[in-house]
Amino acid sequence: MATAYQNLSDYNFDSIPDASSLRVGIIVSEWNQTITEKLLEGACNTLERHGVKAKNIHVERVPGSFELTFGARQLAEHRELDVVIALGCVIRGDTPHFDYVCFGVTQGLTSLNLQYNIPFIFGLLTTNTLRQSEERAGGRYGNKGDEAAITAIKMADFVCRLKK
Q: Which of 50, 58, 78, 97 is catalytic?
A: 97
C-beta separation of 89 from 36 below 8 A: yes
138: which residues sit within 8 A by CB, 6+ positions away? 38, 41, 42
| Active site (annotated) includes residue 97 | yes
Three-class SS state of 60: strand
Q: What is the DSSP string of 101-120?
A: HHHHHHHHHHHHHHHSSS-E
Please name the helix (run of DSSP H) or strand (run of DSSP E) that holds residue 148, with its range, or none: helix 144-163
Q: Which residue numbers are catalytic? A: 97
